[in-house]
Amino acid sequence: MISYIIRRFLILPVILLGVSLLIFSMIMMLGPYQRLSTYITDPAQLKGAEDIDQLVTKYGLDDPWYEQYGRWISGVAQGDFGWSESAGAPVTRAIADRFPATIELALLSLIPVIFGGIILGVVSAVHHNKIIDHTIRIFAVIGWSFPSFVFGLLVLMIFYGVLGWLPPGRLSNWATEIVRSAEFVNYTGLYILDGILNLDFSIVLDAIRHMIAPVITISILWWAFILRITRSNMLETLKKDYIRTARAKGLADNIVVYKHAVRNALIPVVTVAGQMVLGLAGGLVIVESIFNIRGLGQFMANSAQQLDYPGVLGGALYFGFLLILINLFVDVSYAVIDPRIRLE
């Protein structure tokens, strides 16, 4: 298995290079004046044709594509991923600044989504066509078909606008002041974890309070997704001969379901969960916008909209790296869940 993992890591730079070339060439298909929109975002910033051409020259927008790519890739080789105009910061800093918020949200969302989805899926399958199954299925359909921007706004309006319980942002003003003070050590940028490590539980609680609404919004969608997949796989597994045999042997129902059936039904769920983790860790533009969380989703969307190619490429590399890492994790998980699978 270790050699498999090493091989996957070795192939990583080749894939990332390919991804960057592909994206770069797509951006280069636009003319230099179109790409100038990265720097001129409003008509009032236009000032005579002379200045415009100077800007094109200054940022090398009319250089041959291979020169522009060469500049970028040689910077990358030295750890400089370029300047993101849309973020107003170096790409590495733009990603590093937003990474903790995205990961904190992703990790917190995973807990209710995966465990809630799997448990409800199993319960639904076990009580196939009974009232509890129907209820869960209706819940799943509603959750799956509810657009996140509608549900998110409803959550915000009720729990913040009316009740005032769950405000937007990652922390309250007073907590932000503490977190940015010299006394508070930012170990990870994940406020809940940093609060624990600093033994400041008011920060932990405040961070949790701010995360509840976005986590609920994300969960309601993905919960339903995982639930449906778990349910259908469980139903299939429960019909298998070895389950019937286990029951015939007189094993308790709980043991049959949770020890024998669930484990086998989980493989497709792991695959889907992997994609879900990727989606969450890549950032969620809508949830981030509604709940004012400065995450990677907004960064990538803004970069693309503004044709900010260092930002787009930086985001793509991050995403590519994540994709490979998560796929690897999923592959390894297969082997753990099902010992018959061997990674070569």
Partner 1 sequence: MQKKLVVFLTLLLVVSVFSVVGAQEVTNPDTFVEVNMGTIDSLDPHFQYDSASAEIIDNVYENLIKFNEGDITDFMPHLATEVPTEENGLIRENGTVYEFPIREGVTFQNGDPLTPEDVKYSFLRALIQDRDGGPVWMIYEPLFQKGSLADVVTEVLGEEKSPSDLTAAESEEVYAYLEKAVEVDGNSVVFHLPKAFPPFLSIIAQGNGLGAIVDKEWSVEQGDWDGQPDSIAEYTNPTKEDDPLFDKMNGTGPYELVEWVNGEEVILNRNDDYWREPAPIKKVIIRMIDEWSTRKLMLQRGDADIVYVDKQYMSQVENMDGVEVITGLPNIYMGAGLMNFNIVTEGNPDVHSGKLDGNGIPSNFFSDIDVRKGFLYSMNYEAFINDVLNGDGQKGRGPIPEPLLGYDENSPTYELDLEKAEEHFKKAFDGELWEKGFEITILYNSGNDVRKSAVDMLKYYVEQINPKFKVNVRGIQWATYLDKLIANKFTLGFIAWGADYADPHNFVVPFLGSDGTYGGFKGKDYINFAKENIDPLIDEGISSTDPAKREEIYKELQQIAYDQALDFYLYQPSAQVVMRDWVEGWYYDPIRDPGQYFYSLDK
What six digits make up the tokens of 118?
């799997």
**304 is a site residue for partner 1 (CB under 8 A):** no
Task: Read off the DSSP letter of residue 30.
Answer: S
What six digits make up the tokens of 15?
């894939």
| Shorter beta-carbon distance to partner 1: residue 128 or 177 | 177
Is the Cα dihedral 62, 64, 66, 67 positive or negative? negative
Q: Give min distance, CB of 18 to partner 1, in A.
A: 25
Among 79, 88, 250, 339, binds partner 1 (CB under 8 A): 88
**290 is a site residue for partner 1 (CB under 8 A):** yes
Among 4, 139, 160, 334, binds partner 1 (CB under 8 A): 160
Using CB under 8 A as the criterion, what x/- string covers residues 31-70 for binding partner 1?
Answer: x-xxxxx-xxxxxxxxxxx-xx-xx--xx-----------
221-280 positions binding partner 1, by CB under 8 A: none
**75 is a site residue for partner 1 (CB under 8 A):** no
| Shorter beta-carbon distance to partner 1: residue 93 or 247 | 93
**10 is a site residue for partner 1 (CB under 8 A):** no
Considering CB under 8 A, how many residues would be counted as binding partner 1? Answer: 61
Among residues 319, 113, 295, 93, the alpha carbon closest in space to that of 190 is found at 295
Residue environment code for 15-48, b if the CB has 16+ CB neighbours within 10 A, otherwise e: ebeebbeebbeebbeeebeebbebbeeeeeeeee
Q: Are 105 and 214 in contact (CB under 8 A)?
A: yes
- Contacts for 68-77: CB closer than 8 Å, 24+ residues apart: 68/24, 68/28, 69/21, 69/24, 69/28, 72/20, 72/24, 72/309, 72/310, 72/313, 73/20
Among residues 287, 306, 307, the alpha carbon closest in space to that of 297 is found at 287
Using CB under 8 A as the criterion, what x/- string covers residues 106-145 for binding partner 1?
Answer: ----------------------------------------
Q: Are 290 and 342 in contact (CB under 8 A)?
A: no
Q: Give min distance, CB of 121 to partner 1, in A.
A: 22
Strand partners, 89: 84
| Shorter beta-carbon distance to partner 1: residue 58 or 263 | 58
For residue 212, count other CB atoms closer than 10 A to its CB.
Answer: 14
183-212 positions binding partner 1, by CB under 8 A: 201-202, 205-206, 208-209, 212
Q: Give min distance, CB of 283 to partner 1, in A.
A: 13
| Shorter beta-carbon distance to partner 1: residue 233 or 303 | 303
**307 is a site residue for partner 1 (CB under 8 A):** yes
**327 is a site residue for partner 1 (CB under 8 A):** no
Task: Read off the DSSP letter of residue 189.
Answer: S
- Find the part of the chain contacting partner 1 (CB under 8 A) among 7-15, 158-166, 262-270, 273-281: 158-166
| Shorter beta-carbon distance to partner 1: residue 47 or 128 | 47
Which amino acid, residue 196?
Answer: I
What six digits make up the tokens of 188?
């990870």
Among 180, 239, 259, 263, binds partner 1 (CB under 8 A): 180
**298 is a site residue for partner 1 (CB under 8 A):** yes
Q: Are 105 and 295 in contact (CB under 8 A)?
A: yes
Q: Give min distance, CB of 16 to partner 1, in A.
A: 23
Instruction: Mark out the alpha helices in the chain (DSSP H runs).
Output: 2-28, 32-35, 48-58, 65-77, 91-110, 117-126, 131-145, 148-156, 173-179, 191-197, 201-238, 241-248, 253-255, 262-281, 285-290, 296-305, 309-337
Contacts to partner 1 by CB under 8 A: 30-31, 33-37, 39-49, 51-52, 54-55, 58-59, 83, 85-90, 97, 153, 156-157, 160-161, 164-165, 167-169, 172-174, 180, 201-202, 205-206, 208-209, 212, 289-292, 294, 298, 302, 307
